[in-house]
Amino acid sequence: MNTPMIGLVDCNNFYASCERVFDPRLEGRPVGVMSNNDGCVIARSNELKALGVEMGTPAFQLQPLVREGRIHLLSSNYELYGDMSARVREVLEEYSAGVEPYSIDEMFVRFDGFDRNSMLTLSRTLHRNVRKFTGIPVCVGVAPTRTLAKLANRAAKKRPEFGGVCVLEPNEVGTQRMLADTPLGDVWGVGRRLVERLALQGLHTAWDLRCADPRAIGQRYSVVLERTARELQGTPCFEMNDADDARQRIMTSRSFGRMTGDLNELRDAIRQHAQRGAEKLRHQGSLTRAVLVFLKSNRHRPDLPQYSPSTIVELPAPTNDSREILAAAQQALEHIYLRGYRFMKAGVMLLDLIDQPREQLSLLESEEDIAKRERSQQLMATLDAMNQKMGRGTVRLGVARPDAAWQLRCAHRTPRWTTQWNELPRVKT
């Protein structure tokens, strides 16, 4: 019986590739996509990387190159990118019933019952057809485990001899050589601090970790790293559910389109962040016990007074009710706000989360309290259902002003070609 295989399909330079699908003139030219509010570079084409532009470079530093026409900087177009990601997924689902999105530009694909030759043929078909039907170039890495599939994908992207497709078997000589050439920092889930700790034990490469005793690794470091070691040996240990475990905290924040010290504008921003955080909280089936609110002034403006406060408001009882979370967030804002300062960012963080089914109810709770909680749950469920059906933000607490400082700045956003009828090009006849 053939070993079940896992494929990782990674869209190359995804944001830049999406832009090129609808503007072929950008093909072969240095293209960068900027963060919210056109702040810094968050995506780069290979041509832009070749010019030495690093991830996170402030956009204003690149304006001379933009004016000279040497590079192209575009605003984030997340609606377009999300739709293109869905189209890539649709192509993959033609070949597998088990497509599991890992991020907007990465998807795991489950393959069962293929021998190596058939697997390689299928992978090349995926590589070709995703580009053919969506315009998005991809790399495909296939292996028995997700950790090895990540490394296979990395090889498919970095090593031209693979032609964008790499299939790994754990016990092959080529796989062993690849693991020996892979620093531990390039292994999925192994962070910088962990790399430093492992180096003290003489573990420097993926091969070193593969050869280590998994049980000893688990006892000394963590169960997660033990699973990683076993995955490098070819034993599946991670399911996608592991990556989707409920988060221990939820943060929503955004840099402003322009700095502001206006309390009403800050209230608007905090209201939006609090509501979005509450939605995420309900989506993962959690309750929060505390709400943190923060403001940030612009540390890159030494000519302005600096003040970046934060405070936490503890809730009377765990909740996921938007109204209660919003009230706590507004209370926190009133506590930390001072006149005379201009802020460039605000955010809300929900802390001390618990699973809703594990909520410890009070024995002293009255029938009125129980009825109130049930009404709250029904109201929030209705709100979420309406927003899911009609579009996020359709129903919300309060009205967002379109000219508010915290609204997104996207001066160089391209049309949302696939989701907005009014942004389709007009052809004169």
pLDDT in tens, 339-368: 999 999 899 988 878 777 544 444 445 666
User: Dihedral sign, CA of 112, 114, 120, 124?
Assistant: negative
Tokens standing for 19? Answer: 């832009």
Whether 16 and 135 share a structural domain: yes
Each residue of 146-184: pLDDT tens digit?
Answer: 999 999 999 999 999 999 999 998 888 889 999 999 999
H or E element, residue 118: helix 116-134
Question: What count of other Cβ atoms lies within 10 Å of the Cβ of residue 10?
Answer: 22
Nearest to 150 by CA among 186, 125, 98: 186
Which residue stretches of 186-291 are H helix?
192-200, 206-211, 214-220, 223-232, 240-243, 263-283
- Which pLDDT band, with edges at 50, 70 and 90, does 383 fall under? low
The pLDDT, as a whole number, for residue 97 is: 78
- For 49-98, give the DSSP string: HHTTPPTT-BGGGGHHHHHTTS-EEE---HHHHHHHHHHHHHHHTTT-S-
Has residue 290 been placed in a domain?
Answer: yes
Binning the chain into helix, strand and coil, the percentages to the nearest 5 are 45, 20, 35
Angle, in degrees to the nearest 10, between helices 78-92 and 14-22: 90
Q: Which two tokens stand for residue 410?
A: 């996207």
Structure confidence at residue 360 (pLDDT): 44
Q: Answer whether 329's CB lies under 8 Å from 271's CB.
A: yes
pLDDT digits (tens, 9 = 90+) for 259-278: 999 999 999 999 989 999 99
Summarize the confidence of residues 315-330 as an average pLDDT.
Answer: 89
Q: Where are the beta strands (DSSP E) in 320-390?
A: 343-355
Q: Give the pair of three-digit tokens for residue 193.
A: 């601090």
Is 265 domain-assigned? yes
**Least confident residue range of 75-79, 127-131, 266-270:** 75-79
Look up residue 17 and give its amino acid. S
Long-range contacts of 197-205 (CB under 8 A, 24+ apart): 197/221, 205/179, 205/180, 205/181
Instruction: Give the C-alpha separation, 420 to 224, whole Å.
Output: 43
SS3 278: helix
User: Whole-angstrom Cα distance, residue 233 to residue 125?
Assistant: 27
Of residues 68 and 314, the one with the higher pLDDT is 68
For position 390, what pLDDT does the model report? 59
Q: Is 113 left (phi over 0), alpha (psi -120 to 50) or beta?
A: left
Tokens in use for 96? 């597998």
Least confident of 87-96, 164-173, 327-336, 380-389: 380-389
- The DSSP secondary-structure symbol of 61 reads G
Q: Which one of 360, 392, 414 terminates a domain? A: 360
Q: Give the relative orientation of helices 173-180 and 146-158 as an angle to the nearest 10 degrees.
A: 80
- Which residue, 320, 344, 360, sits at the end of a domain? 360
Is pLDDT at 419 greater than 80 in this prediction?
A: no
Whether residue 215 is contained in a domain is answered as no
Number of domains in the chain: 2
Q: Report yes or no on 79 lying in a domain.
A: yes
- Whether the pLDDT of residue 313 is over 70: the answer is yes
Alpha-carbon span 389 to 137, nearest angstrom: 32
Indicate which CATH number applies to the domain containing 87.
3.40.1170.60
Q: What is the mean pLDDT of residues 317-328?
A: 89
In a domain, 216, yes or no: no
Assigned token pair, 124: 């090349």
- Does residue 269 lie within any of the structural domains? yes
Residue 339 lies in a domain: yes
Decide if 350 contacts 249 (C-beta within 8 A): yes
Mean pLDDT value across the chain: 85
Strand order in the sheet with 31-34: 41-44, 31-34, 72-74
Residue 272, domain member (yes or no): yes
CA 306 to chain centre: 30
Distance CA 236, CA 146 (A): 7
The token pair that represents 337 in the structure block: 């706000």
Query: Using an 8 Å Cβ cutoff, are 126 and 153 in contact?
Result: no
- Contact between 264 and 308 under an 8 Å Cβ cutoff? The reply is no
pTM of the model: 0.66
The residue among 337, 360, 383 that closes a domain is: 360
Domain that holds residue 304: 250-360
Closest among 282, 281, 307 to 294, alpha carbons compared: 307
- Whether the CB-CB separation of 303 and 257 falls below 8 Å is answered with no
Contact 84/417 with Cβ under 8 angstroms? no
133 and 258 within one domain: no
Q: Which residue type does 277 have?
A: G
Can you give the CATH number for the domain in which 317 is found? 3.30.1490.100
Helix (H, G, I), strand (E, B) or coil at 189: coil
Q: Which residues contact 355 (CB under 8 A, 6 or more apart)?
A: 246, 285, 286, 287
d(CA 425, CA 175): 49
